Chain A
Amino acid sequence: MDDAAILAGLEEIIRELFDDYDGPVTPALAAADVEQWDSLANVQLMVLAERTFAVRFTTAEISGLANLGELAALIRAKQG
């Protein structure tokens, strides 16, 4: 799966989970940009991404990502 497809899949999750957010979803999007993106919602985001892309994250990976672009890159790496 290429970067564009991964980002499109992540955008769907973001739009569903953070339904108050109507700004752009770009690789630079980070938790600080989205009011509803707190630590518990971050866990939900990661588990939804695991299901969507058939990957599994470690706890350190879940808490260590700076933005959506890093998440997309991690998914791509895990998919090989």
Chain B
Amino acid sequence: MSAAVDAAREIAPGAGPATTRLIEAQMRAFPEHEAALRKRFALADADPIFCETLAGMIERIAGETLAAVCDDYRWLAGAVLEEELFFRREGRYRLTSFAEAEALVYADAAYMTRYMNGLLLSQLWWANHTAVLAWFRDRYLPANRPGARHLEVGPGHGLFLHLAASDARTSEATGWDVSPASLDQVRHTFAALGKAPPPLSLVNLFEPSPEQFDSICFSEVLEHLETPAKALARVHDLLAPGGRAFINAPVNSPAPDHITLFSTPEAIVELVSGAGLVVEELLLAPSTGASLERARKFALAISTVIIARRAD
């Protein structure tokens, strides 16, 4: 057995084989990340079974490019630290408009590839990201009604959409995005995971649509928008009466393309309520290793997840 495998097993002693292989690959690309990985897998809520499921998905999505994906995670960690430095100094995110994010991030295909690859691994390496995905699978989806029509706006890699499409209660799933490259990413994920992709459409959320859904996933989109309140109003209108939404946005989470800063979870809850949605459940998942109290005290990132319902 190689030293790298031994090291990976030491970092996460209870981890399954896919998790161990991913840690091993990450350690090869980014040995300085060992302390962070140790901290992440020492957490009591690092459910090894869910982590292993997620690691298996990531491994299949990355495929033969796993080493490059691990390199890209290293790059992402550096990019996030740069944004963190700006945020701590200035008390705001660097970018303030969608046009800036489009010019600097979204229109740069090479940048986007690295960014998305890095974020793929963050689903496992960042405890708050894993917690949100687990809550979606274990808490949100089981309360959908049988035969639910599910929409995801901005499906990213497609991990949430894959879970929703695979859920027995979902009769139809679909994904909307404004970026053809993002939809290609979702197609790749479904192909890698051996499932036919659901209908995926180039749709701007802000344009009127006659469709309505029983379930909407809106994860890590609000912080990318100039008008999050308007977006939530659209989510409300797209829900059928009694329909449910899974809304996830981070507070104090500087990143290269985040433009709207939420300073407290309560600010996001108020925004959701203000859109006419009834907040039913709330998950606050602080950044890896931080207690909620510490995250609030030092303005650390907190993934704020709301399960809401359209009342009328």
Contacts and interface: CB of A to CB of B under 8 A. Distances in A.
Q: Do A and B come from one complex?
A: yes
Contact of B84 (A36, A43, A50): A43
A25 B287 CA distance: 26
Q: Which of B39, B298, B300 has the most CB of A within 10 A?
A: B298
B85 A59 contact: yes
Contacts, number: 36
B297 to A, nearest CB: 9
Nearest to B84: A43
Contacts of B89: 47, 50
Contacts of A46: 85
B35 A47 contact: no
A75 B35 CA distance: 27
B82 interface: yes
Interface of B: 35-36, 39, 77, 81-82, 84-85, 88-89, 287-289, 294, 298, 300
Interface residues of A, number: 17
27 contacts: A17-B298, A32-B35, A35-B39, A35-B289, A36-B289, A38-B36, A38-B39, A38-B288, A38-B289, A39-B36, A39-B81, A40-B84, A40-B287, A43-B81, A43-B84, A43-B88, A44-B88, A44-B298, A46-B85, A47-B85, A47-B88, A47-B89, A50-B89, A59-B82, A59-B85, A62-B85, A63-B81
Q: Which of A32, A40, A47 has the most CB of B within 10 A?
A: A40
Contacts of B39: 35, 38
Given A31-B35, A39-B36, A47-B89, 19 more contacts: A19-B294, A35-B289, A36-B289, A38-B35, A38-B39, A38-B289, A39-B77, A39-B81, A40-B84, A40-B287, A43-B81, A43-B84, A43-B85, A44-B298, A46-B85, A50-B89, A59-B82, A59-B85, A63-B81
Contacts of B85: 43, 46-47, 59, 62
Q: What 4 pairs across the A-B complex have the smallest Cβ distances? A: A47-B88, A43-B84, A43-B85, A47-B89
Contacts of B288: 38
Contacts of B88: 43-44, 47
A70 B310 CA distance: 56
Nearest to A39: B81
Contacts of B289: 35-36, 38
Contact of B300 (A40, A47, A63): A40
Nearest to A51: B89
